Amino acid sequence: MKIYTFNNAEKDPFCRGKQIGECWATQIKQIVMLYLDFFSRIGITGDQVRKIGENSLSALEYWCPDLASEIEATALGADLPVWYLASLNARTEILSTKATSYLGECSTAIYAAPDINMPQTIQTWDWHDVLAPCGLMTELQNKKGMRFKLFTEFGMLGKIGVNSAGLGLHFNILHHISDNDSGGVPVHAVARRILEEATTIEEAIALAFSAQVSASSVLSIFSHRAERCRAVSIELSPFRTAIIYPQQNDWLLHTNHFLASELVSGERTTDDTTYKRYEHLKIVASDMKNKGIIESAAAMCGPEGEQSPICFLPDSSQPDTERWETLLTISINTKNCILKYAAGNPYQLSQTGYRSF
């Protein structure tokens, strides 16, 4: 995956979206077409895609008009129909309606002990390699001038990031029996709004609870601007939203299954690797503590290195709709508003280093 970087100081959502669309039209069009083709090949019709996308945009317009405006302006700037960008931003909502195998996804580890000056974090982003030939690190500003940085897919509002108020966010997909095709607020938009507006854990939780979603995900939020280092995972589902607090000796760990007792009974994942990865993180967590990103990435893999459960290598024998790869490893520094990352899995980062944004 090739990663681009972009800085934009425009504070008006529509103007910002139009500029993003114009600047990255080639990449946005490529990603949109890859997703539309992918949807059709796994049996989701164009009419279904458009309906969910447009319904999700309507839900977003009600919940956060500024972000809906940014999507519409991005489509204008990239010279694409609005429903294309609406459907791209609702890709999780669209995919959640299709019963398919979830072979592997993301693994997140956050160390939030009260005696450290900021949380120590690291995450893998695992996805279909065919859908992510490129990604974007972008720095934006909200209307009040607060900066926020994001890693995201081209044309999408957000995913993983940090803001200058000292709030960071990691992102993992989940699957619940209540997921449906109604087209709720896109989970990626929830992540984006939290990074753009929230300055505290409490504000982030309030924003997440206010969104009516139709697909499930978990947003792990953390900040050093508190009486103690704090981190929580916010598990979103159409059924309800729940909070998970650090365990495992001040570690907050998450893969791709629900941890909240009130949501576990509705678990819908078909991915048995999520449980293996979670147990692996519990085992290696103590070796990751108080390490720099290179040492932490190596410890995250453990003695198995690139054969660790948290590293997905693409299997060329599988069709691309069933093929997964660890495309990104990322750590977040909330004190200095920095994203540290490398394209590839944690073992590769530990061998070749990382970049800072």
Superfamily (CATH H level) for 107-356: Penicillin V Acylase; Chain A (3.60.60.10)
Residue 97: DSSP 8-state:
T
Residue 5 has pLDDT above 90, yes or no: yes
The confidence band for 292, taking pLDDT boundaries of 50, 70 and 90, is very high
What 3-state class would DSSP assign to 266?
A: coil
Whole-number pLDDT of residue 260: 97
**Cβ 217 vs Cβ 263: under 8 Å:** no
Give the integer Cα–Cα distance in Å for 15 and 18. 5
Query: Could you report the per-residue pLDDT of 223-276, keeping only the tens digit for each?
Result: 998 766 789 999 999 999 999 999 879 999 999 999 999 999 999 998 889 999
Q: What is the mean pLDDT of residues 98-108?
A: 72
List of residues 6+ apart from 329 with CB closer than 8 A: 122, 123, 124, 125, 297, 341, 342, 344, 345, 346, 348, 349, 354
Q: Mean pLDDT for the chain?
A: 95
Contact, 220 vs 232, CB < 8 A? yes
Which whole number is the average pLDDT over 52-62?
98
- CA pair distance 129, 119, nearest whole angstrom: 30
Residue 115: the pLDDT is 84
**Domain segments of the chain: what residues?**
10-95, 107-356
Q: Which residues pair with 242 in a beta bridge?
A: 235
Average pLDDT of the segment spanning 50-66: 98
Residues 163-216 have pLDDT tens digits of 999 999 999 999 999 999 999 999 999 999 999 999 999 999 999 999 999 999
CATH class of 10-95: mainly alpha
